[in-house]
Amino acid sequence: MLNYLIYAIILNTLDKLISKQGLKHISDKHFVFFYQVVSVVIIYGYILSAKISFYTPNLFISLILLVSILCWALFSILYFKALSLIDLSTYTVLSRLTLVWSSVIGIIFFKEKLHSFHLIGIVLIMSANLLYIHKAKFNKGIIYIIGSTLCLSCALALDKYLTNFINPIIIVFFGFLGTSIICSSRVKLKEIFPLNFKYLYAVLASLTGTLGYICLLISLSLGDISKILPMFQGSTILYTLLGFLVFKEFKEWKLKLASGIIAIIGVVIIGGYHDTY
């Protein structure tokens, strides 16, 4: 499980870097369109080569898959919209709300136990987010981030449940396919032609993001969502550092760093409490 999680962290970091740079050259709606379409092509090619069945066991599972697709579509739209409006380091601070949502979902739907240390970690993460929101200049980007974290948590929880019945690769394929169809309604084909090298950012981000999510989903299928996501989210401290080093995001750096440290302590408490994985 840890091997897949490490791969997911590395690939996800590359995805964020490439996406942030690409959104400087491409509108968010065009970026997400290319991102999703390329992901569909990549995964479909793998499915054909590996001869994986598209079988779903019953109507109920199909409906769960449909809800997952809708959650992924909303996440993609909100996520890329947010990343086009705010700094990568700001996204890092607020994206840890995913842990809070996922913990609540894990307890309610997967009957995962909430220990006292787990609760302390959640309170610290919430405090870090509230500190930043209170002190920083509030804008639409922050609203988009909060919405995207909720959609992402729901999508991950649904996909974790679906891994009991469907091959993880098929789940990822339908997620990207559905998102592509929904996002295509926001794009006019004449807007993206003629094609040029700027769309390569979306292609590369899609490649790393798709492989990264497959690795994350496999790790989720092998363990608890409330245990894996804290470790995965702990890696987002890299985004803060890269935001400083690569994109020179020094605005409100003390606030970002302070909020980031508080959130990371919460992540460590949540993830480090468990004895084994």
**Entry pTM:** 0.70
Q: Helix, strand, coil shares of the chain as percentages rounded to 5?
A: 80, 0, 20
- The radius of gyration of the chain's CA atoms, rounded to the nearest angstrom, is 18
Per-residue pLDDT of the chain (277 residues; tens, 9 = 90+): 678 888 888 898 888 889 888 988 888 888 888 888 898 998 898 889 888 888 777 889 989 999 999 998 898 888 888 888 877 667 766 777 776 777 777 777 767 676 777 778 777 777 776 776 666 566 788 888 889 989 988 998 898 889 889 888 888 888 888 888 887 777 777 777 777 788 899 999 999 988 888 888 788 777 776 667 666 766 666 666 676 777 676 676 677 677 777 777 776 776 665 544 4
| Domain residue extents for the chain | 2-273
**Exposed e or buried b for every residue in 185-213, given b needs 16+ CB within 10 A?**
eebeeeebeeeeeebebbbbbbbbbbbbb
* Pair 176, 40: CB distance under 8 Å: yes
pLDDT tens for 157-199 read 898 889 889 888 888 888 888 888 887 777 777 777 777 788 8
pLDDT at 276: 42
Give the type of residue at 131: L
Residue type, 42: I
CB 85 within 8 A of CB 140: yes
